[in-house]
């Protein structure tokens, strides 16, 4: 069968042969035992409902074995025979260009070079899934191949509920992930519902089909590191940045450190993913001996090298050893998946990777005890360095939250706030998000590197022209992004699809997108898919990350994210998504995303202007109402350019009136 034939058949009527478990693939760890005997039967009923009754007897024992062995039913037998990668858009079968673009993006999320655990359909973060099982993937791709512009596909946590009649202006796909009743948002609730096959953790861009590999976070991390050095009035040259995690999102840290121009030490306990990142060129060197690491960093500091070093081991050992050897750390953070601390997101010190994986599945209580003890040691070591002048920031991965729950010394004197700020609270919020700057991204659906190069040039020209008249308040953001896009090609950031990211405000996004659409209309480039990270101005309500610099008491509300997705859906988005969880944990955040296909048409021009303007200014208006000075400036400027925009502005209360 051809690739197109396999897509169109969906779930095969003749069962494929069982597939061997490929040990060379980076697999998800076994999930802990959480279902009762009756619930296991329910999980099997739920899995078998995808298949005709004549296949149930044959599949039952196989799915039962998967559930017992891995804690989930992945349906490995149904993994496609074809290579999993983003193909040129014209290679996909279908009746609708928009649906073909979505198929491309789904396959990019599952590309072996992109996905963290591709056989388990997990893109990043240890549990950020595109689908729960392979039957869902096959059925979804079939529906997309059949879709017309008068239908919308509804996705329930990876399950394609079906194609419903709609209209051309409606989104082609609406995605929800993990949207459970609030009282059932504890970690074990997710474990149970995921094991039953009824809900999943979509992370942010994993379950939204908009992940573009580590490049997506490289840029945000680069901007964060540059601004962190500016905050401490220190040049990156010869400065040391210590962090941990080399998985999906966190794997971007070494590359970002190189672009920023510092010495990066990133610890990782998983040898397989460490060597993958090294082979991809995201890391310069791998060191396995802690004493050798000390010598290498000392030399790099003396020579002011720009270098990234992966330490194959636990980051706690690095913090403690550098303290003993008095190696000064300028910047410190952590980007392990602490939203998922008990299932592979964070590993205890002093125990091997393999032993830890066995313990988390077979003795979860002891594993949790070891993790929390490690968190206390981790925080204690960080505290020693910050007392010597290290600037530490939480990278929004729930490090401080879980450390506090473990009893670590991370609370401020008031015992309410954390001792260390979130990077959004201290850096990205006031410097970028309040002014509307966030992670705008695009994918060249032709798959041609030449198209990506042309879009880089177009985007750079647009930004340089805008910078000529941009106000002083946003000149730094403009120049950072011009420098970024000029160096994008030489930094070899593409993994998977021909994609790019830069931080832009609403004006920049609209102008860049319109320039792309005009180039498509002229035949200069092929179809372009627009998107963004959920980690943006408007997309996410997360009290310890995206909305951590909201101080009016509303940071625990999620109106912004919900309004964002609803507004995007009727202003022209090709697909929209809304998730519970993502980055900081199940029950800790609500986040939304979108995708938009540009085809060179007048309709695309109208949609992009309407939707992108709303997508950014919704968040600026909320931040303005919270009295954020930069956001007040930005929303006033937006109202000057768009007469139909009328936003309620806050009146500032004099401090002396409240002195009682």
Q: Are strands 173-177 and 391-392 parallel, antiparallel or unpaired?
A: unpaired
CA distance 33 to 52: 29
Q: Are strands 590-598 and 540-541 parallel, antiparallel or unpaired?
A: antiparallel
Neighbours of 266 (CB within 10 A): 28
Binding-site annotation, residues for NAD(+): 125-126, 203, 268, 395, 583
**Residue 272 phi/psi, 5° resolution?**
-60, -50
**Residue 457 phi/psi, 5° resolution?**
-65, -45
Report yes or no: 133 and 195 within 8 Å, Cβ to Cβ.
no
Report yes or no: 497 and 205 within 8 Å, Cβ to Cβ.
no
383: its two tokens: 């505290």
Query: What are the Cα distances from residue 206, in Å, to 136, 194, 274, 574, 593?
Result: 15, 16, 21, 17, 11
CA distance 520 to 591: 31
Report yes or no: 6 and 79 within 8 Å, Cβ to Cβ.
no
For the chain, give the number of residues.
660
CA distance 240 to 611: 41
Report yes or no: 642 and 613 within 8 Å, Cβ to Cβ.
yes
Calculate the CA dihedral of residues 242, 243, 244, 249 and round it to 10 degrees. Answer: -140
Query: What are the Cα distances from residue 274, in Å, to 282, 424, 437, 507, 580?
Result: 10, 27, 32, 39, 29
Kindly provide the b/e burial profile for residues 618-653, where b requires at least 16 CB atoms within 10 angstroms of the residue's own CB: bbbbbbbbbbbebbbbbbebbbeeeeeeebeeeeee
Binding-site annotation, residues: 125-126, 203, 268, 395, 583
Report yes or no: 468 and 649 within 8 Å, Cβ to Cβ.
no
* Maximal CA-CA distance, the chain: 78
Report yes or no: 461 and 516 within 8 Å, Cβ to Cβ.
no
Residue found under tokens 């030490």: 265
Distance of CA 388 to the CA centre of its chain: 33
């Amino acid at each position: 069968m051809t690739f197109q034939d396999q897509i169109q058949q969906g779930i095969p009527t003749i069962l494929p042969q069982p597939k061997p478990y490929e040990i060379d693939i980076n697999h998800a760890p076994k999930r802990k035992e959480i279902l009762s005997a009756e619930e296991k039967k329910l999980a099997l009923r739920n899995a078998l409902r995808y298949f005709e009754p004549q296949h149930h007897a044959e599949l039952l024992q196989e799915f039962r074995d998967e559930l017992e062995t891995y804690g989930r039913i992945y349906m490995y037998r149904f993994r496609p025979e074809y290579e999993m990668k983003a193909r040129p858009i014209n290679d996909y079968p279908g009746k609708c260009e928009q649906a073909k673009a979505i198929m491309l993006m789904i396959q990019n999320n599952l590309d072996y070079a992109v996905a963290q655990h591709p056989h388990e359909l997990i893109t990043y973060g240890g549990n950020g899934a595109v689908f729960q099982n392979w039957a869902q993937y096959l059925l979804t791709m079939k529906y997309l191949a059949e879709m017309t512009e008068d239908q919308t596909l509804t996705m329930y946590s990876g399950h394609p509920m079906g194609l419903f009649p709609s209209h051309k202006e409606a989104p082609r796909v609406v995605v929800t992930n993990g949207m459970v009743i609030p009282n059932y948002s504890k970690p074990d609730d997710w474990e149970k519902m995921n094991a039953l096959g009824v809900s999943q953790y979509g992370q942010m861009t994993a379950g939204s089909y908009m992940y573009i590999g580590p490049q997506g976070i490289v840029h945000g991390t680069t901007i964060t590191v540059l601004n962190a050095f500016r905050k401490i009035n220190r040049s990156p040259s010869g400065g040391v940045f210590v962090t941990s995690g080399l998985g999906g999102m966190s794997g971007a840290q070494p590359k970002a450190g190189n672009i920023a121009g510092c010495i990066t030490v990133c610890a990782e306990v998983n040898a397989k993913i460490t060597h993958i990142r090294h082979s991809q060129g995201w890391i310069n060197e791998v060191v396995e001996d802690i004493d050798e690491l000390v010598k290498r960093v000392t030399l790099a500091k003396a020579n002011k090298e720009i270098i990234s070093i992966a330490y194959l081991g636990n980051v706690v050992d690095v913090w403690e050893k550098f303290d003993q050897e008095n190696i000064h750390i300028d910047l410190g953070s952590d980007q392990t998946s602490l939203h998922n601390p008990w299932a592979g997101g964070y590993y205890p010190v002093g125990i091997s990777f393999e032993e830890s994986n066995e313990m988390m599945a077979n003795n979860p209580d002891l594993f949790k005890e070891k993790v929390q003890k490690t968190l206390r040691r981790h925080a204690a070591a960080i505290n020693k360095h910050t007392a010597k002048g290290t600037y530490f920031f939480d990278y929004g991965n729930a490090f401080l939250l879980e450390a506090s729950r473990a009893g670590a010394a991370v609370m401020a004197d008031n015992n309410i706030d954390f001792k260390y700020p979130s990077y959004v609270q201290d850096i990205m919020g006031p410097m970028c998000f309040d002014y509307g700057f966030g992670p705008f991204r695009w994918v060249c659906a032709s798959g041609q590197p030449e198209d990506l190069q042309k879009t880089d040039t177009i985007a750079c020209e647009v930004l340089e022209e805008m910078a000529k008249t941009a106000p002083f308040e946003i000149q730094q953001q403009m120049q950072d992004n011009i420098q970024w896009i000029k160096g994008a090609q030489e930094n070899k950031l593409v993994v998977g699809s021909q994609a790019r990211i830069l931080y832009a405000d609403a004006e920049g996004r609209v102008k860049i997108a319109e320039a792309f659409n005009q180039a498509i209309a002229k035949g200069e480039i092929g179809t372009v898919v627009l998107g963004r990270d959920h980690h943006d101005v408007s997309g996410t309500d997360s009290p310890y990350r995206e909305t951590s610099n909201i101080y009016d008491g509303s940071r625990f509300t999620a109106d912004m994210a919900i309004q964002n997705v609803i507004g995007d859906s009727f202003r022209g988005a090709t697909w929209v998504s809304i998730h519970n969880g993502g980055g900081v944990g199940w029950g800790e955040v609500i986040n939304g995303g979108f995708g938009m296909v540009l085809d060179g048409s007048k309709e695309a021009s109208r949609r992009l202007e309407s939707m992108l303007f709303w997508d950014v200014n919704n968040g600026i208006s909320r931040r303005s109402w919270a009295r954020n000075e930069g956001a007040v400036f930005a929303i006033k400027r937006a109202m000057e350019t768009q007469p139909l925009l009328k936003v309620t502005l806050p009146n500032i209360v004099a401090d002396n009136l409240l002195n009682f």
